[in-house]
Amino acid sequence: MPRPCKQRRVRGYPISSYFKPNGIPKRDLEEIILTNEEFEAIRLKDYEDLEQIECAKQMEISQTTFHRIITIARKKVSDAIINGKAIKIN
């Protein structure tokens, strides 16, 4: 049986939770789901420009877990930008 997921601390929430390419109807777009913890990882590392260790401390997780989360989040965002997909933040 897998280990239960530890609760992560998320302090920043987006003002808008949906982003889509301009000029394409929403019904024609594929959606990428970005979790709140992935959003928080991007906010801390890329927007606040904190070191990875400090980001992990603020989210109350290990540095390796933070690295895994930020890698997945960046992959999702880059996929959405490159392939013209919508981003929904849950």
22-62 per-position pLDDT tens digit: 999 999 999 999 999 999 999 999 999 999 999 999 999 99
In the chain, where are the structural domains located?
A: 34-89
Region of residue 44 (phi > 0: left; psi between -120 and 50: alpha; otherwise: beta): alpha
CATH of domain 34-89: 1.10.10
SS3 34: strand
Residue 13 is predicted with a pLDDT of: 73
Q: What angle do CA 42, 45, 46 make, to 5 degrees?
A: 70
